[in-house]
Structure 1
Amino acid sequence: MPRETRQPDETTPEHLPGGSGGVWKVGRTVRRPTGPWTPAVHELLGWLADEGLGGVPHVGGIDEDGREIVSYIEGRGVPADEIVLDTVLVDAVAWLREYHDLAESYRPDGPRVWRQTGDDPVALEPGQIVCHNDPGVYNWIIQSGRFVAMIDWDLAGPGEPIDDLAFLCWTAIPLSRDIGSVEAARRLDLVADTYAEWGPMTLLDAVERRMTTATERIAAGIERGDPGMLHLATRGEPQRTRARLADFRARRRSVEASLS
């Protein structure tokens, strides 16, 4: 007789790709490694939930293995080689603007430890908000062809809003690879028009600055033994991003010439 195939129940852990390699889905929750930065991130997410911002996971505490528990958001992730539709891009940029506008009111009552600022607590400086710091397209959730959520908040921390938008441009236009100068310029205009704060030329400057900072943060994280950054090292970082940044600099003038 054929052997019966057992289907996993709701509590069977399912490994999720990406992250630091230690992210699991358990039932309707996601379990992720924690660190000194986790209390600050959970404080932020709790505040966002109280403020009614949609598209963010809800915190459920810490499990018996010391992992954080956040809600699982239904939908699909975005593969690294996918170029999202204009409608999805506009949705994500509009959501980011909404988050940034709301985050201007979030001022923790003292210094906090954040993952990318080291082990010492830091306070927000004038002009800074708590940015997501990793709003790459690989952290988007899509349902029925629309952006619905931004996940993976462990890198949240002090920054300027334009830094987040620049990172989004890098992965979602995407400026990280050659899609043709005309198409890159068109989608850059779309981002600038949707966010409605900075022009395309300013965003190009911000992209170069933000991605240079990204390589420095990855290198520093590897140096101090951050598991997530060590995982990125197995994927060729920060050398991979440095090479892509050099290619972007070579293409940039052509994109500028194609801007309307």
Structure 2
Amino acid sequence: MDGDRGPDGELLAGGLANAGAVVRRGDAVERPAPPHAAALHGFLAALRAGGFAGAPVPVGPVTGGRERLEFLPGDVALPPYPAWALGGAALGSVARLLRRWHEAAARTPFDEGASWPGEFADPEGGPLLCHNDVCLENVVFRAGGAAALIDFDFAAPGRPLWDVALTARYWVPVLDPATAAETARAHLEVPPRLALFADAYGLSPADRLALPSVLEQATSVCRAFVARRVAAGDAAFVAHFDSYGGWARWDRLQSWLADRRPLLERRLRDLSGG
């Protein structure tokens, strides 16, 4: 997770929204605070008190629009993604970490009246706080396994299956063959890797069968998020959007998902994932 060091701390890699704004100082990470920081910090502290060590705890109050969170040491996969992050072992360990997060979150009350962000929130709502952005850059690995989640800017109430679908989009990854080839991931076959993820998480038979349709729903929500950012003229998103094929790529992915839904459902019926 090391970045450039300077007199004002060590610059860490941030996502598109926080690029250049995340700094490590000693055992703390300083970053822009989301609007729901107060409710989120209370939840993270309660998680740790309940025994879940796979997320950082806040270190002090929000000051000047920035939050301070515990620095969690380990390895984070950044583009171009290393081979270890694309293997089956990493995929399964992320699924198991997500399950542990959901089990801990189900035991931890959250502020239902807080203004949780809606960008990636489950349209159907749900009983626990989902992360909603478990991309490769937001998982800390130690000793070859997924150990912790970071960056909770999009956390919001939802169904566990919703979080599973959003996470699988990144880690399987759920891409049509043309896009997978363009991003050097054509060797990662979606049906068996999706089944592996479902197996490792321990999805119920009913959730396994529902997962393909929830993936389509999540993809539509993600597309709407990008559309809003592009329409607003967000420079980072516009550049990323233009360099990655624009709406043609989204159209292709959504058509591919709809066409492959029966195949994915059949593969997921096999509880062995084989």
Quickly name the TM-score band, shorter chain normalised: 0.7 to 0.9
Q: If the length of structure 2 is used for normalisation, what is the TM-score?
A: 0.75
2:222 aligned to which of 203, 214, 218: 214
Aligned 1:13-162 pairs, distance under 5 A: 13-19=9-15, 20-21=18-19, 22-62=21-61, 64-82=63-81, 83-108=85-110, 110-116=112-118, 127-162=126-161
The answer on 1:192 being equivalent to 2:198 is: yes
Code of the residue aligned with 1:46 in structure 2: it is: A
Deviation (angstroms), 1:160? 1.6
Deviation (angstroms), 1:143? 2.2
Q: If the length of structure 1 is used for normalisation, what is the TM-score?
A: 0.79
Whole-angstrom CA distance in 1 between matches of 2:155 and 2:169: 18
Whole-angstrom CA distance in 1 between matches of 2:106 and 2:200: 19
How has the CA–CA distance of structure 1 residues 170 and 35 changed in structure 2, closer, same or farther, with 3 Å as cutoff? closer
Code of the residue aligned with 1:93 in structure 2: it is: A
Q: Which runs of 5+ in 2 are unaligned?
A: 268-273
Whole-angstrom CA distance in 2 between matches of 1:79 and 1:109: 32
Q: Counterpart in 1 of 2:251?
A: 246
Whole-angstrom CA distance in 1 between matches of 2:91 and 2:235: 30
Q: Counterpart in 1 of 2:270?
A: none
Deviation (angstroms), 1:101? 2.0
Code of the residue aligned with 1:18 in structure 2: it is: G
How has the CA–CA distance of structure 1 residues 206 and 108 changed in structure 2, closer, same or farther, with 3 Å as cutoff? same
Deviations along 1:187-231, one digit per CA (max 9) or x if unpaired, are: 111011112225555322211111211222344467789xxx764
Confirm or deny: 8 A CA contact 2:219 2:254 kept in the other structure: no
Q: Which runs of 5+ in 1 are unaligned?
A: 1-6, 119-124
Q: Root-mean-square deviation (CA), in Å?
A: 3.4
Aligned residue pairs total 246
Deviation (angstroms), 1:95? 1.2
Deviation (angstroms), 1:233? 4.0
Per mean C-alpha deviation after superposition, the further-off stretch among 76-85 and 45-54 is: 76-85
